[in-house]
Amino acid sequence: MASNTLFLLPGDGIGTEIMAEVEKLIAHLNGSGATDFAYDKGLVGGCAYDAHGVAISEEDMGKALAADAVIFGAVGGPKWDDVPYDVRPEAGLLRLRKDLGLFANLRPAICYSALADASSLKKELVEGLDILIVRELTGGVYFGEPKEITDLGNGQKRAVDTQVYESYEIDRIARVAFDLAMTRGKKVHSADKKNVMKSGVLWDEVVKQAGRDYPEIDLHHILADNAAMQLVRNPKQFDVMVTDNLFGDILSDAAAMLTGSLGMLPSASLGAPDPATGKRKALYEPVHGSAPDIAGQGIANPIAMFASFAMALRYSFGMVDLAGKLETAISDVLEDGLRTGDIMQTGCRKVTTSEMGDAIIAKLG
């Protein structure tokens, strides 16, 4: 029996195309003896809705809960714009995050040197950029109750979302950020809106309290709006940024674009360590979406998906060297001048999704 199990959820749009490359990668790694992965595949998002009328079936939820790691593609597309809110494609992803308890979302924004010119910021601002956004993923306004639209009966409606955090939720995400910062630049910026939000006041209080256990960490408070501005003004001032679910959603998109392409960036979503085994539930996904505009053409960029797989090797399976090898293979292929359409530059060779996947796999030897 294989020792490590993966559950692949390609999802919609380009999700299926980039996941096909992951399957080639797994076959290569297993074939070379480097890994012993067994995997199953399921449906999530619009395709699950088409098949089962829900964004993820109970059977697939069970498989996701049982696997050592979930590898996720992307969900959504205009085809499902009008499906009921509770079963919209994104609901599948949100349910996975919630039911697997994946409270810690790691979103690195790394600028590959071959792509520094592709950033919308000046090359000197982004060259060598290496930021890690640590986003709280199972709380805040995404899940807070009440969450509803009420008809006031006078021709008006009232919509409520609830931003709510308890101390333990803030404490555990702060500690993830501090632990990771200890392995990097030892600097953490905690972003909130404590100038207008009570949840921000508590956020800051709990982060500072947890920070006392990490005397080596250089901890800074930053208002979330200022964080957005500083990210595009001088991004290299940041090492690790920890923030709530909604601010993390927004700030990580901004950070991602600094690096030249959303198609490049991976993410890991981790749960708490199991008290008995020490293992964390985990889901790995590219930061980009399902890109319906280019779906089905075989031209999507598989790099963020591969980089997400590298994060799985590192965080779920302790295969740190193999993760590094895969990341080096990605940057080598970029240095060789291979580009998918989204990152195409003059003088480079434009390749398809599958050619890019093959080239990266070939570098692994």
By CB under 6 A, name the one of 249, 255, 281, 314 that touches ligand IPM: 249
Contact 266, 308 (CB under 8 A): yes
225 labeled part of a ligand binding site: yes
Q: In terms of CB distance, is 136 or 249 closer to ligand IPM?
A: 249
Measured CA distances, 320 to 110, 205, 266, 323 (Å): 18, 35, 16, 5
Q: How far is the CB of 213 from ligand IPM (least distance, A)?
A: 29
- Annotated catalytic residue 36: no
Over its C-alpha atoms, the chain yields an Rg (Å, rounded) of 20
Which of the choices Mg ion, ligand IPM, none does residue 90 contact, using the CB cut-off of 5 to 8 A by kind? ligand IPM
Q: Annotated binding residue at 345?
A: no
Closest contact distance (angstroms) between CB of 13 and ligand IPM is 12
24: which 2 tokens? 């080639």
Per DSSP, which regions of the chain are E strands?
4-11, 37-41, 69-74, 104-110, 130-136, 144-151, 157-162, 187-192, 218-223, 240-243, 266-273, 280-286, 338-339, 349-350
239 interface partner picked from ligand IPM, Mg ion, none, CB below 5 to 8 A per type: none
Please give the residues from 91 up to 110 whose contact with ligand IPM meets the rule CB under 6 A: 93
Nearest residue to ligand IPM, using CB?
90
* Angle (CA) 295 82 86, round 5°: 105
Q: Quick one: 25 or 91, whose CB is closer to ligand IPM?
A: 91
- Beta pairing partners, 266: 286
Residues 6+ apart with CB under 8 A from 166: 139
Q: State the Cα–Cα distance between residues 357 and 362, nearest whole angstrom.
A: 9
- Of 23, 40, 90, 332, which lies in the binding site for ligand IPM, with binding defined by CB under 6 A? 90
161 lies in the binding site for ligand IPM (CB under 6 A): no
> DSSP per residue over 278-291, as a string?
-PEEEEEEESS---
The catalytic position among 49, 112, 142, 214 is 142
- Cβ proximity to ligand IPM, 210 vs 291, nearer residue: 291
Of the ranges 129-137, 225-233, 244-252, 332-340, which one interacts with Mg ion (CB under 5 A)?
A: 244-252
Amino acid identity for residue 224 in this structure: A
253 is catalytic: yes
249 binding Mg ion? (CB under 5 A): yes
Does 130 help bind ligand IPM (rule: CB under 6 A)? Answer: no
- Contacts (Cβ under 8 Å, ≥6 apart) of 305: 18, 19, 21, 22, 73, 266, 286
Min dist CB 78 to ligand IPM, Å, is 14
Catalytic-residue membership of 142: yes
Nearer to ligand IPM, 54 or 338 (CB): 54
Q: Which of 317, 354, 355 is nearest to 30 (CA)?
A: 317
Nearer Cβ to ligand IPM, position 44 or 210?
A: 44
Residue 193 known to be catalytic: yes
| Binding residue positions for NAD(+) | 77-90, 289-301
Site residues (CB under 5 A) for Mg ion? Answer: 249
**Residue ranges binding ligand IPM (CB under 6 A):** 90, 93, 249
